[in-house]
């Protein structure tokens, strides 16, 4: 049984790491620009109980660029960002979530896993504490590496309004 869990507070744009119910670390995040919501293609961050389904990128260097959950061979830079200003950057690591609540965040048009909802890195120039993502939970890259190493597969992740 896992004694660790994550709580993501959408109102405060904060991710907290809990061990035996006590907060041991907190990080600022950026969640869905369109607010909370579970529907596919909504751009919202899904609420409720989830599990860490997959961890991707364990040995990748800081700033590794991912597309379709695979490293592209690129490393994020300001030059790359200037060349592709509209790109939604998924960087450094991916923690892929799976919903646990049938009909709410699991199954059909509300399935968190099928919506490709991750905790992932973003350019460090992006502000945290402000909703700006397409539904995922974005973090600064060094914070994400710390979190990635602490997170366990199957760990409970609760996302709250």
Q: Is the pLDDT of residue 40 over 70?
A: yes
Q: How buried is 21 (Cβ within 10 angstroms: 0-12 exposed, 13-18 middle, 19+ buried)?
A: exposed
pLDDT of residue 150: 98
Q: Could you tell me how far CA 27 lies from the centroid of its own chain?
A: 12
Q: pLDDT exceeding 90 applies to what percent of the chain?
A: 98
Q: What angle do CA 7, 9, 10 make, to 5 degrees?
A: 140
pLDDT digits (tens, 9 = 90+) for 100-148: 999 999 999 999 999 999 999 999 999 999 999 999 999 999 999 999 9
Identify the structural domains of the chain with CATH numbers, from first to last: 4-160 (2.40.440.10)
pLDDT of residue 14: 98
Choose among 155, 151, 159: nearest CA to 133. 159
55 band by pLDDT with thresholds 50, 70 and 90:
very high
Report, as an integer, the average pLDDT of 88-95: 97
**Which tokens belong to 86?**
């509209």
pLDDT of residue 2: 75
Q: Is the pLDDT of residue 1 over 60?
A: no
3-state secondary structure the chain: CCCEEEEEECCCCEEEEEECCEEEEEEECECECCCECCCCCCCCECCEEEEEEEEECCCCCCCEEEECCEEEEEECCHHHHHHCCCCCCCEEEEEEEEECCECCCECHHHCCCCCCCEEEEECCCCCCCCCCECCCEEEEHHHHHHHHHHCCCCCEEEEEC
Q: pLDDT exceeding 70 applies to what percent of the chain?
A: 99
């Amino acid at each position: 049984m896992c004694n660790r869990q994550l709580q993501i507070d959408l109102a405060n744009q904060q991710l907290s790491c809990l061990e035996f119910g006590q907060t041991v670390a907190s990080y600022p995040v950026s969640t869905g620009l369109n607010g909370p919501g579970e529907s596919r293609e909504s751009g919202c961050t899904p609420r409720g109980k989830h599990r860490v389904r997959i961890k991707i990128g364990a040995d990748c260097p800081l700033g590794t660029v991912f597309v379709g959950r695979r490293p592209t061979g690129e490393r994020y830079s300001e030059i790359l960002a200037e060349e592709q200003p509209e790109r939604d950057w998924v960087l450094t690591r991916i923690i892929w979530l799976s919903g646990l609540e049938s009909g709410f965040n699991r199954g059909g048009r509300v399935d968190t896993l099928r919506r490709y909802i991750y905790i992932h890195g973003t350019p460090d120039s992006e502000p945290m504490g402000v909703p700006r993502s397409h539904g995922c939970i974005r973090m600064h890259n060094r914070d994400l590496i710390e979190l990635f190493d602490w997170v366990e597969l199957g760990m409970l992740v609760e996302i709250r309004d």
